[in-house]
A and B are shown apart, each in its own frame.
Chain A
Amino acid sequence: MTGLSFDPLLPWPLIISAAILALLVTVWSLWRGLRGWPLRGLAGLAAAAALAGPALESGIRNKLSDIVVLLDDRSASQSLPGRAAQTDAALDDLTRQIGALPDTEIRRVTVTDDSDGTLIGSALTRALAAEPQTRVAGVVLLTDGQSHDPAMLPSGAPAPVHVLLTGEQTDWDRRLVIEEAPAYGLIDQPVIIRLRIEDQGAVPAEIAQSPARLRILVDGEETRTLDLPPGVPLDLPVVPQHAGQNVISIGFDAPQTSTPELTDRNNSAAIQITGVRDRLRVLLVSGEPHAGERTWRNLLKSDANVDLIHFTILRPPDKMDAVPVDEMSLIAFPTQELFLDRIRDFDLIIFDRYRVRGILMPQYFDNIRRYVEEGGAVLVSAGPEMSTVESLNLSPLGSILPGRPTGRIYEQPFLPELTDEGQRHPVTAGLPGAPVEGQEKHWGRWLRMSQVIPDPNAQVVMTGAEDQPLLIMNRVGKGRVAMLNSDQVWLWGRGFEGGGPQLELLRRIAHWSMKEPELEEEALLADVAGDLSVTITRRTMAAEAKPIRITRPDGETETVNLAQTGPGRFSERWTPPGPGLYRMTDGEITRVMALGPSAPREFEETVASGDKLGPLAQATQGAVLRLSDGIPAVRTVREGRPAHGQGVSRDWIAITPRHATSTSGVTHRPLLPGWAWLLLVAGLALTGWLAEGRGWKLRRA
């Protein structure tokens, strides 16, 4: 290779100005009739040429091979029946064909699953960036066209991009699309999930427009079914039933048609809605001001999530003084409003040393009983009045109390202790400082309690004097009742004999009554760690925990045995094979757990389509072809020509050989040395001067 190059001494405009000046001088000379005008012009031009610094370049040029990027998509959506084989066959054939072309190399790129889907755009951009732009002769993508990063696709390529789609012409799929689902919801308040059914691909006529039967399961239990035609958005109201994770699974069965749909993995979705409690409303009724009353107030008022309505009977109806009403600061107890009209608004009613003295009418107590049976909660903190004729037990409420007082009151110091059931019950399990046999340090004692005979169904979790029941808990209908047979829990707060965890105990009793999931006796918990391993914990009042049967998303089951980790606690670590909806059960409690995205992204859209990659192919004059129509032949065309077309037997795609070269051993030699330029310019100028001067004239003469 040899060529002329310039190495100007001055900027080009100046050199051009010099040349123009030289021409002007020449023209002027001609007009004036000067004899040496050609010489003058040549001298000027030679000066300009010298300034441009012409040089001779020479070197050796080598031809470079062309590069074809061959990208195959091996993501999960490509594992649908037939697609892997199609890809393999095409890959083999194309490798062979391209390999047969002269001076052509293949760069293989394989795209696998990413947590964000199939990232063809990134892979392609990376592959192109790694190669010299001048050598890329073609790009062939073997994929179903479902790229999940269209923004990362390059807008153009230096060579034709061909998209060869897997799948069949007859492919079709019906899927469930969750358009909108809240992550949180107030308990018992409906939240809206917006969804629709979408048909894609060549939907068989027999199924088109026919509705899909949606089944809606809340926490694994079927709640309702409804028919939804494709393309119609549906606002589905769902009510979170409890605090914590509510798993809503929505799905439909694969339609029965001659051509089955591509996959049923996008026919269902699991949505997790965390149930959040609205503010808890607690009604505290104190029968009389007493030393422990402020304990309740401190507990309930320190909880920002509790609206406390508190009434204390400051003056009983049978006591009067002569003080005028306007000097008193007493207000009437709005009993009818609280116990008849508004009772269902409360999450918990606490009777704190309440004695029946004609303030609440029997029908109010009856109403409270009904309220509990329908899912309410009552907590009785009983003082000695429980053993008197003014006992709550003698009111209509007595029928749901978990213990029946005998009338005996123990007036002696005693140490509250946990029973075996109490060791296991979440309300009392793990209370700090619980008495341990053989250890001297323990809780402070209490000084008074009433004797009661516990209901046979109730759980006695703490005992007091002479091992008599102290704290009894029971379920009545849908509601709960707890009863503490002593009013002296405040001694723990005062630090008598070291005190005890009074606030924690009372808090747990109150929250257990309000069905806080963390305090349920029978619970099956699944904590998902960051690496998707799951710690399964079974909390139970029973001595043994049954093995947990886990149903995987694909319907297979496995069994996990739990090991005891504490009283009433059994747990085991378990690693699920992959994301999806798992159902765990031990025969009594069933829990549904959704791991990973609600539906795998890979299976959101499965019908092969060139919609996403087509624009790129078009921009580079490449083709979008279906492999189901046959593997195309590979040809070569010149750059800028259409790179695909129909051949005799099959379609063809083309690569454009780039004829790229590398040049080595370049030398750079000036055309003339400086002094030669000087000689030339000076010689021309001198000759011109001589010609116009006398010498010329003399010779003529």
Chain B
Amino acid sequence: MRWLLLVAGLLVATVAQAQVDPDPRLIQAADEVALAYVVTGEGDVDSASEAGLRGLSQVLTDRTTVEPGEPIGIDLNRDDLSLLTFLYWPVTETQAPPTPQAYVRLNHFLRSGGMILFDTRDGDIAGLGGPEGAGVLRQLAAPLDIPPLAPIPVDHVLTRSFYLLHDFPGRYQGREVWAEAPPAGAEAAEGVPFRNLNDGVSPVIIGGNSWSEAWAIGENGLPIYSVGSGLDGERQREMAYRFGINLIMYVLTGNYKSDQVHVPALLDRLRREEVMQ
């Protein structure tokens, strides 16, 4: 009997051994909700992404209960995405499209609750006829299972998941940001100032405001890129951070803030039932 158990134990041990342990960086990401970015191969873009996510992580740690670890760069062709929650994807003209296997992983990531923020980083020049990121983005995102998109409506939960926001500025502002379109026929419940949209979380957010550059801080803790000018610029940077915080809260808590409007009603009902009894 004892040797049988031993053999069984060995078998289990070999099975366990046969499994490749995941990348320690990814384990870290799963444990600490680390923010991740797609490595594009363009040095300055990648360093801006890393600095940006580090800046956002710093602000989150300072102001909220979310305390992300070090941001990590993701090689889409190699890394397992299932340990991640949030992926920042700057769109550059030179980056090579991921392999089909990577797209399979990306689609699974989107389906199982992950979110990608696509940043075309062209908020300053878009619409002026210059080279635009939109074309490249369309090419990159074509194989992804993305639901119909629409500009984020004013009653989207992103506008109130932590701060109250009206705009989602980055280094640039004024551009529309897109998310999953609200389902047709969604109506505001009585007494609620907004519609209950997106019961799930939009799998993608798309914009061109170059958020990572607005969030980026250097080793010394100071911003790396200038945003706007003077006090207005600093205000815009603050708003960019607030967008970042709202975005991460949205990724992690889903429609929690939408539901909270029902809490007083639920508590009211409990009170009423007590009176009735």
The chain A residues found within 8 Å of chain B, CB to CB, are 281, 286-291, 293-294, 297-298, 301, 307-310, 312-316, 319, 321, 323, 326-331, 334, 337, 342, 345, 384, 411, 413, 415, 437-438, 440, 445, 447-448, 488, 491, 493-497, 499
B residues near A321, Cβ cutoff 8 Å: 62-63
Given contacts A287-B65, A315-B65, contact A342 B267 (CB under 8 A): yes
B163: which of A288, A316, A329 is its contact (CB, 8 Å)? A329
- Does B12 sit within 8 A of A, measured CB to CB? yes
Which parts of B7-43 form the interface with A (CB within 8 Å)?
8, 11-12, 15-16, 19, 21-22, 27, 30-31, 33
- Does B203 sit within 8 A of A, measured CB to CB? no
Determine whether the beta carbon of B257 is less than 8 Å from that of A438: no
Given contacts A290-B33, A329-B163, A447-B22, contact A319 B256 (CB under 8 A): no
Q: C-beta contact mask, B147-175 vs A, less than 8 Å → 1, else 0?
A: 00000000000001111100000000000
A-B contact pairs, 6 of them (CB 8 A): A288-B65, A321-B62, A321-B63, A328-B164, A447-B22, A491-B83
B31: which of A309, A411, A415, A496 is its contact (CB, 8 Å)? A411
Of listed B21, B113, B274, residue having the most chain A CB within 10 A: B113
The chain B residues found within 8 Å of chain A, CB to CB, are 8, 11-12, 15-16, 19, 21-22, 27, 30-31, 33, 62-67, 80, 82-83, 85, 108-109, 112-114, 160-164, 199, 201, 242, 248-249, 252-257, 259-260, 263, 266-267, 270, 273-274
CA A493 – CA B30 in complex, angstroms? 13
Given contacts A312-B256, A495-B82, contact A307 B113 (CB under 8 A): no
Shortest distance between the CB of B70 and any CB in chain A (Å): 16
Determine whether the beta carbon of A307 is less than 8 Å from that of B22: no
B113: which of A294, A319, A447 is its contact (CB, 8 Å)? A294
A residues near B62, Cβ cutoff 8 Å: 319, 321
Determine whether the beta carbon of A331 is less than 8 Å from that of B260: yes
A residues near B112, Cβ cutoff 8 Å: 493-495
Nearest A residue to B113 via CB reads: A294
CA A415 – CA B13 in complex, angstroms? 11
Determine whether the beta carbon of A329 is less than 8 Å from that of B164: yes
A residues near B260, Cβ cutoff 8 Å: 310, 331
Given contacts A290-B252, A491-B82, contact A447 B66 (CB under 8 A): no
Determine whether the beta carbon of B270 is less than 8 Å from that of A342: yes
A residues near B30, Cβ cutoff 8 Å: 291, 447-448, 488, 491
CA A330 – CA B162 in complex, angstroms? 6
Shortest distance between the CB of B79 and any CB in chain A (Å): 12
Other 12 A-B pairs with CB < 8 A, given A321-B63, A327-B164, A448-B30: A291-B30, A294-B254, A297-B256, A307-B266, A314-B64, A314-B162, A319-B64, A323-B242, A345-B270, A345-B274, A413-B19, A491-B30
Given contacts A290-B252, A314-B65, contact A437 B259 (CB under 8 A): no
Given contacts A330-B162, A437-B11, contact A494 B83 (CB under 8 A): yes
Determine whether the beta carbon of B12 is less than 8 Å from that of A329: no
A residues near B249, Cβ cutoff 8 Å: 289, 314
Shortest distance between the CB of B189 and any CB in chain A (Å): 15
Determine whether the beta carbon of A438 is less than 8 Å from that of B22: no
Determine whether the beta carbon of A291 is less than 8 Å from that of B65: no
CA A360 – CA B257 in complex, angstroms? 21
Q: A-side binding surface: helix, strand, loop or mixed?
A: loop
B residues near A298, Cβ cutoff 8 Å: 254
B residues near A329, Cβ cutoff 8 Å: 160-164, 257
B266: which of A301, A309, A312, A494 is its contact (CB, 8 Å)? A309
A291: which of B67, B161, B252 is its contact (CB, 8 Å)? B252
B residues near A415, Cβ cutoff 8 Å: 16
Determine whether the beta carbon of A496 is less than 8 Å from that of B80: yes
Shortest distance between the CB of B140 and any CB in chain A (Å): 23
CA A312 – CA B161 in complex, angstroms? 11
CA A88 – CA B260 in complex, angstroms? 79
A residues near B19, Cβ cutoff 8 Å: 413, 445, 497
Determine whether the beta carbon of A413 is less than 8 Å from that of B113: no
A residues near B16, Cβ cutoff 8 Å: 415
A494: which of B82, B253, B255, B267 is its contact (CB, 8 Å)? B82
B253: which of A312, A334, A413, A437 is its contact (CB, 8 Å)? A312
Determine whether the beta carbon of B113 is less than 8 Å from that of A328: no
CA A411 – CA B24 in complex, angstroms? 10
Determine whether the beta carbon of B11 is less than 8 Å from that of A297: no
Determine whether the beta carbon of A495 is less than 8 Å from that of B108: yes
Determine whether the beta carbon of A288 is less than 8 Å from that of B164: no
Nearest B residue to A286 via CB reads: B253
CA A200 – CA B163 in complex, angstroms? 78
A residues near B253, Cβ cutoff 8 Å: 286, 289, 293-294, 297, 312, 314
Determine whether the beta carbon of B267 is less than 8 Å from that of A337: yes
Q: Which 4 A-B pairs have the closest CB atoms?
A: A289-B252, A288-B65, A329-B160, A496-B82
Determine whether the beta carbon of A411 is less than 8 Å from that of B27: yes
B residues near A314, Cβ cutoff 8 Å: 64-65, 162, 249, 253
B residues near A312, Cβ cutoff 8 Å: 253, 256
CA A551 – CA B214 in complex, angstroms? 79
Given contacts A329-B164, A342-B267, contact A493 B27 (CB under 8 A): no
A residues near B199, Cβ cutoff 8 Å: 301
A residues near B161, Cβ cutoff 8 Å: 329
Shortest distance between the CB of B68 and any CB in chain A (Å): 10
Determine whether the beta carbon of A438 is less than 8 Å from that of B11: yes
A residues near B266, Cβ cutoff 8 Å: 281, 307, 309
Given contacts A313-B65, A331-B260, contact A297 B254 (CB under 8 A): yes
Shortest distance between the CB of B31 and any CB in chain A (Å): 5
Of listed A415, A437, A488, A495, residue having the most chain B CB within 10 A: A495
Nearest A residue to B160 via CB reads: A329
Nearest A residue to B253 via CB reads: A289
CA A319 – CA B64 in complex, angstroms? 7
Shortest distance between the CB of B27 and any CB in chain A (Å): 5
CA A75 – CA B3 in complex, angstroms? 69
Shortest distance between the CB of B38 and any CB in chain A (Å): 18
Shortest distance between the CB of B60 and any CB in chain A (Å): 10
A residues near B27, Cβ cutoff 8 Å: 411, 413, 447-448
Shortest distance between the CB of B37 and any CB in chain A (Å): 17
Nearest A residue to B249 via CB reads: A289
Nearest B residue to A294 via CB reads: B254
CA A345 – CA B19 in complex, angstroms? 47
A residues near B65, Cβ cutoff 8 Å: 287-289, 313-316, 319
B residues near A499, Cβ cutoff 8 Å: 82
Nearest A residue to B8 via CB reads: A437
Nearest B residue to A323 via CB reads: B163
Given contacts A291-B85, A491-B83, contact A308 B113 (CB under 8 A): no
Of listed B12, B31, B114, B255, residue having the most chain A CB within 10 A: B31
A residues near B82, Cβ cutoff 8 Å: 491, 494-497, 499
Nearest B residue to A448 via CB reads: B31
CA A310 – CA B253 in complex, angstroms? 10
B residues near A342, Cβ cutoff 8 Å: 267, 270
